[in-house]
Structure 1
Amino acid sequence: MPSPSTFTSVNPADPADVVLTFTAPGAFAAVDTVERARAAQAGWLLGGAAARSSALGAVAAAVEAAAAELAALAVREVGKPLAEARAEVARTAAIWRYYAQAPYDPVGAVHESAAGAGLLLSRRRPHGVAGLITPWNFPLAIPSWKAAPALAVGNAVVLKPAPEATACARRLAEIVQQVLPAGVFTVLPGGATEGNALVSASDVVSFTGSTGVGQAVVRTATAHGIPVQAEMGGLNAAIVLPDADIDRAAAHIAAAIAGYAGQKCTATSRVIAVGAALDPLREALGEALRAVPVGDPADPATVCGPLIGARARDQVGDAVHGLSVLAGGTVPDGPGWYAAPTLVEKVPPGHRLLSEEVFGPVAALLPAEGLDHAVRITNSVPHGLVTSLHTADLDAALGGLDHLDTGMVRINAPSTGVDFHLPFGGTKASSHGPREQGRAALDFYATTRTYTLAPAKTA
């Protein structure tokens, strides 16, 4: 028998501050957790739409009641700046409230029988147990936008959070478990061992995290015939045309590069300046990044806090080493894993900044001859999550919508920002399977059954 693994979650702004130490339960315990959830799921479904709706609404109210505590925990455990942490808690409550109405949605349709007498019915039914594997960067919102729709359609949920966000997941679970029946929502702490067991034992799987791990999750789930979706990051571009409001575009892009130290799958990592936009954008964006408040995430004014760990900080430094730096490129003194918001240019073809997601506050400034050239640059990478396009030209905006190979396009807005009531996802290596969020999530967490109701007697 392999020995248990011990994990430690620390404050990235002060690594001496240990938030939580825990022992992973192992693969057998993970399977047992799923079986207990499966036993609880039948009662949860049979309780009816009113019970599920009331419970999800009660979770929303409980999250709001604990808002200050949850925001402070997110600041401490994952280094999320306080303003963003507060916004995430508010969004978390809104997600639960949004899906609280879903149990009353139609679950199918009635059709005339081709043979005449009788009826044909289609009906959405839950899979059973939803295994959810979530990252550390949105420790409350991502588990919620997976769990709430899964629960709304009648599944039970087992959540395996990233080890770095286990304290947040456990506190969220305590809130959810106050109002849900026992076993319907369970947190499974641990690492790869527990995650692998969860994927194999669940009835439906949703994953958010790195591309490599996500692809492994997809392979495992597919081999077992388990429905799976995976969100696996981005290498997102911001395109700026010469007619754009350069200062406004620079402010949007700086926020999308540096907000939460660039630790978002929707962060901007490539800035493509078209034609005459290059020189003014270089100056405006460099100035905007140098003005970003960097520091203690507990300070309400902070925009760029620490990275999640020493390895993440070192990856940022390695990625910009030897490049032409326009802003940043330094590591601030003091405790914590910080990196200054950084903009580089003259990046050679094939460089990792142009092909890999670094997941830090760094972006490359790239020139383009025209919009078509900018679109080709944007589409040239393995990922395709989101693109922001900054222009006053409606025709150019519409052209971007038609030709950009990304799952989301944001016109005159930062690449960051998610509308939880709309489908979320990308193309190519960014996503696998159906979309998350909005009403689309309800379809993923359910299977459609077709029923034929023929008369017992013919006339």
Structure 2
Amino acid sequence: MTTSSLVVSHNPADPADLLLRVPEPGAAAVADAVTKARAAQPGWLAGGAGARAAALAAIAEAIEAAAAELAALAVREVGKPLTEARAEVARTAAIWRYYAQAPYDPTGAVHEPFGGSGLLLTRRRPHGVAGLITPWNFPFAIPSWKAAPALAVGNTVVLKPAPEATACALRLAEILQQTLPRAVFTVVPGGATEGGALIASSDAVSFTGSTAVGNEVVRTATARNIPVQAEMGGVNAAIVLPDADIERAAAHIAAAIAGYAGQKCTATSRVIPVGAAHGPLREALAAALGELRTGDPADPATVCGPLISEQARERVGQACQGLAVLAGGTTPDRPGWYAAPTLVEKLPPDHGLLHEEVFGPVAALLPADDLAHAVRMANSVRYGLVTSVHTADLDAVLHGLDHLDTGMVRLNAPSTGVDFHLPFGGTKASSHGAREQGRAALDFYTRTRTYTLTPGAAM
């Protein structure tokens, strides 16, 4: 959080535990960081593919060497359960290793001219300084899956992390700066002022966060005519057909509702059983949620840790107020900002829980008459990030693939979980601009330049 020009970060499992208190640097400091990054960028690019590849590979090794420390920091600063924190750090190292090969990728193509001799070439070139604005829920992975491709293709990076994850971002910067040249990667802590200054001075902007803020980021960057991508919210559905393995589907959906207290844009918040699946899934899912461990995120058995703040817990409580509760709906009696994994039913169609992201361990059960009805329900919100479909019927799978209006479809798997080597993003209000992750990210951090080469004399 930011308080009277200070960035303050507390442990959400123990709010009395203060991790960090640093001054907000202000807009001028952000502009200065971008100026230094811009001055460093030509040298970083000119160093060549070998130097960039070696640097990114060394970063992967350094992250692996510090894995236990980084996981413990994520547990403490953002309340991420230890098992998930360890997995995030391992994925972070894998991201850097994956993009360490990208500098050797082809950067363009050669074409024959329409007539006469010569060559036509296309070549992808970096924008300059990539300004990154990242959330707190994946404090190492999201900055990495933005920064690694940006650096791989020759940009320099200035990162403005969420205030709640400032300690994680500063520690990540220490690791990167041991390998990278000066000013190639810089972290500027802060809030809205610093974020606005970064958008105002960078050459490309990548944002992950709330829809309201993301829309403003897009408007501001677009007004400057710079490339911008924004990954925002999701009100994701899980569709369960009668032929599905109900117990397995319930386990997957429970994990996608309650994992990390539902604080993921890919979390499941609407569960849509089809026809005869309703009764069995209703019972199995309520039982599965009740069995998940809620508590200390440092305990490896914990699935549902604390919410990030008191305000977040209040938001979850307000979303469930007055609803029919099948599981959860309670606040554990312990220090920290905890809420039990909760399943509700019989909501009116216009209830906010069905249309807006709560970002907590809460989901609504919404029975559908048939698959077509379920798909219409899944598509009925303004978001379109991910949908999970649980069935053994290939025809149903193909129907879902053809008619679901989401950027990602996961079959017989939780809605949560991403493959960092494939494109990530949604439709409608969930995303704007080019996809993140995989080779698609390299396209966003570069622009195409076309060259026409003709002979200087008649041949």
* Alpha-carbon contact 1:59-1:175 (below 8 Å) kept: yes
Q: 1:84 and 1:54 mapped to 2: Cα distance?
A: 28
Other structure's SS at 1:116 match: coil
Which deviations, in whole Å up to 9, do the C-alpha atoms of 1:139-186 show, x marking residues without a partner?
000000000000000000000000000000000000000000000000
Q: 2:113 and 2:276 mapped to 1: Cα distance?
A: 64
Residue 286 of structure 1: aligned partner:
286
Residue 78 of structure 2: aligned partner:
78
Deviation at 1:124, TM superposition (A): 0.5
Residue 68 of structure 2: aligned partner:
68
Listed as ranges, the matches of 1:70-219 within 5 Å are 70-219=70-219
Q: 2:377 and 2:22 mapped to 1: Cα distance?
A: 45
Which deviations, in whole Å up to 9, do the C-alpha atoms of 1:408-448 show, x marking residues without a partner?
00000000000000000000000000100000000000000
Q: 1:316 and 1:277 mapped to 2: Cα distance?
A: 27
User: Given residue 66 of structure 2, which amino acid in structure 1 is its aligned partner?
Assistant: A
Deviation at 1:4, TM superposition (A): 6.8
Residue 227 of structure 1: aligned partner:
227
User: Given residue 297 of structure 1, which amino acid in structure 2 is its aligned partner?
Assistant: P
Other structure's SS at 1:32 match: helix
Residue 253 of structure 2: aligned partner:
253
Other structure's SS at 2:118 match: strand
Q: 1:208 and 1:243 mapped to 2: Cα distance?
A: 37
4+ aligned runs moved over 3 Å, structure 1: none
Residue 348 of structure 1: aligned partner:
348
Deviation at 1:282, TM superposition (A): 0.5
User: Given residue 221 of structure 1, which amino acid in structure 2 is its aligned partner?
Assistant: A
Residue 394 of structure 2: aligned partner:
394
Deviation at 1:334, TM superposition (A): 1.2
Residue 307 of structure 1: aligned partner:
307
Deviation at 1:84, TM superposition (A): 0.2
In structure 2, the CA distance between the partners of 1:93 and 1:264, relative to structure 1 (3 Å rule), is same
Q: 1:334 and 1:274 mapped to 2: Cα distance?
A: 38
Q: 1:103 and 1:26 mapped to 2: Cα distance?
A: 34
Q: 1:349 and 1:379 mapped to 2: Cα distance?
A: 14
User: Given residue 171 of structure 1, which amino acid in structure 2 is its aligned partner?
Assistant: R
Q: 2:431 and 2:365 mapped to 1: Cα distance?
A: 25
2:411 equivalent to 1:411: yes
Q: 1:428 and 1:399 mapped to 2: Cα distance?
A: 20
User: Given residue 353 of structure 2, which amino acid in structure 1 is its aligned partner?
Assistant: L
User: Given residue 213 of structure 1, which amino acid in structure 2 is its aligned partner?
Assistant: V
Residue 10 of structure 2: aligned partner:
10
Q: 1:67 and 1:196 mapped to 2: Cα distance?
A: 32
Residue 298 of structure 1: aligned partner:
298
Residue 335 of structure 1: aligned partner:
335
Residue 372 of structure 1: aligned partner:
372
Q: 1:140 and 1:241 mapped to 2: Cα distance?
A: 36
Which deviations, in whole Å up to 9, do the C-alpha atoms of 1:181-227 show, x marking residues without a partner?
00000001000000001011000100000000000000000000010
Q: 1:307 and 1:428 mapped to 2: Cα distance?
A: 27
* Alpha-carbon contact 1:4-1:26 (below 8 Å) kept: no
Which deviations, in whole Å up to 9, do the C-alpha atoms of 1:279-329 show, x marking residues without a partner?
000000000000000000000100000000000001111001100000000
User: Given residue 258 of structure 1, which amino acid in structure 2 is its aligned partner?
Assistant: A
User: Given residue 7 of structure 1, which amino acid in structure 2 is its aligned partner?
Assistant: V
Q: 2:446 and 2:205 mapped to 1: Cα distance?
A: 12
Q: 1:206 and 1:65 mapped to 2: Cα distance?
A: 28
Residue 267 of structure 2: aligned partner:
267
Q: 2:347 and 2:44 mapped to 1: Cα distance?
A: 55
Q: 2:162 and 2:280 mapped to 1: Cα distance?
A: 41
CA RMSD between the two structures = 0.7
In structure 2, the CA distance between the partners of 1:106 and 1:299, relative to structure 1 (3 Å rule), is same
User: Given residue 312 of structure 2, which amino acid in structure 1 is its aligned partner?
Assistant: A
Other structure's SS at 1:60 match: helix
Structure 1 stretches lacking a partner, 5+ long: none
Q: 1:336 and 1:189 mapped to 2: Cα distance?
A: 24
Q: 2:218 and 2:206 mapped to 1: Cα distance?
A: 9
* Alpha-carbon contact 1:324-1:345 (below 8 Å) kept: yes
Deviation at 1:116, TM superposition (A): 1.9
Q: 2:146 and 2:128 mapped to 1: Cα distance?
A: 14
* Alpha-carbon contact 1:294-1:305 (below 8 Å) kept: yes
Residue 22 of structure 2: aligned partner:
22
Deviation at 1:115, TM superposition (A): 2.3
User: Given residue 167 of structure 2, which amino acid in structure 1 is its aligned partner?
Assistant: A
Q: 2:116 and 2:375 mapped to 1: Cα distance?
A: 54
* Alpha-carbon contact 1:389-1:411 (below 8 Å) kept: yes
Q: 2:199 and 2:409 mapped to 1: Cα distance?
A: 31
Q: 2:100 and 2:245 mapped to 1: Cα distance?
A: 41
Deviation at 1:276, TM superposition (A): 0.5
Deviation at 1:349, TM superposition (A): 1.3
Listed as ranges, the matches of 1:44-63 within 5 Å are 44-63=44-63
Q: 2:41 and 2:281 mapped to 1: Cα distance?
A: 54
| Identical columns (%) | 79
Deviation at 1:344, TM superposition (A): 0.2
Aligned residues: 457
Q: 1:458 and 1:266 mapped to 2: Cα distance?
A: 60
TM normalised by structure 2 equals 0.99
Deviation at 1:114, TM superposition (A): 1.4
* Alpha-carbon contact 2:7-2:189 (below 8 Å) kept: no
* Alpha-carbon contact 1:327-1:343 (below 8 Å) kept: yes
Q: 1:82 and 1:355 mapped to 2: Cα distance?
A: 31
* Alpha-carbon contact 1:121-1:451 (below 8 Å) kept: yes
User: Given residue 239 of structure 2, which amino acid in structure 1 is its aligned partner?
Assistant: I
Residue 451 of structure 2: aligned partner:
451
Q: 1:245 and 1:114 mapped to 2: Cα distance?
A: 58
Q: 2:342 and 2:334 mapped to 1: Cα distance?
A: 19
Q: 2:281 and 2:100 mapped to 1: Cα distance?
A: 44
